[in-house]
Amino acid sequence: MKKAIFFIAIILLGCQNDSKIVLASSGNLNEVSVVIENDLWEGAVGKELKTAFSKPIYGLPQQEKQFILRQMPPGIFSGFATKSRAIIKIESNKKKGINVVSNKYASPQKIIVISGANANQIIQQIRSNTKEIVSILRNSEIREKKRRIKKSLSSSSSLKKVFNITLDYPSIYREASVLENFVWLRKDTKSGSVNLSIFEAPLTRDKLSKQKIIAIRDSVAKTTIPGPTLGTYMTTDPEYRAVSKPIIINK
């Protein structure tokens, strides 16, 4: 009798502690599933979505879209398809608005529901909320990228020794050069390489314009980053507009 009572107690405890299991989300970085009817995707709504979220990223040597959009009609949005990390869902014949849902089918996950009574209302909602939607998706992808980076961090201490700073970056990056006030990190790819140079330059009273930033970078590269042939070095396209952000580092 005691064994039977004990067995029943275990079953009851198991039922009380039962909870919903949320599966891990899936998808490549910067890839967004767009759940939308085919006719809307092929028309003005689809064009607006591509204009808002699929434009090229500024500053890259070769064109790369901000987000890669993968369209699917609502009829097949089920099962594994619902586990995408980033989803934009278009709902027509509904009250206009934007709704953001987190971790509904998987985790981490962001679902952005854009609704309107007709195509014009949906387009208006996209245009009015583009910056907010991009920010939500970008922040979500940055968090995912950080999570992946932390799986295999570089153990190098060069940045700490040279600049007294720390930076989390993947172990796949190698140190191409470490000098006084200069560190060059490099990742080899099939089509070339990805480079990150960190250097320190004296602060002058002159205004630090974008042209000045490029001039400083080129002067450093001339002595530290050699080109493919003798006497050449890596330089910056004069048409490139530098993007800068001031950061205060407490040493």
Q: Give the start-to-end residue ranges of the domains of the chain.
A: 22-149, 152-251
CB 55 within 8 A of CB 65: yes
How sure is the predictor about 92, in pLDDT bands with cuts at 50, 70 and 90?
very high
106-140: per-residue pLDDT in tens?
999 999 999 999 999 999 999 999 999 999 999 99
Please state which CATH class domain 22-149 belongs to.
alpha beta
78 class by beta-carbon count within 10 Å (0-12 exposed, 13-18 middle, 19+ buried): exposed
18-32: per-residue pLDDT in tens?
556 778 999 999 999
179-234: per-residue pLDDT in tens?
999 999 999 888 888 889 999 888 776 777 778 888 888 888 888 988 888 888 88
Q: Is the dihedral of CA 110, 116, 118, 123 positive or negative?
A: negative
The Cα–Cα gap between 7 and 246 comes to 65
Residue that the structure tokens 């989390």 belong to: 168
Amino acid at 8: I
What the block records as the tokens of 216 is: 């400083």
230-249: per-residue pLDDT in tens?
888 888 877 777 777 777 76
Q: Beta-strand (E) ranges in the chain?
A: 23-24, 31-35, 68-72, 86-92, 97-102, 106-107, 110-116, 174-179, 182-188, 193-199
Which residues are 183's β-sheet partners?
178, 198
| Beta-strand pair 23-24/106-107 | parallel
Question: Could you tell me which residues come within 8 angstroms of residue 103 by beta carbon, excluding any fewer than 6 positions away?
Answer: 22, 109
pLDDT at 131: 96
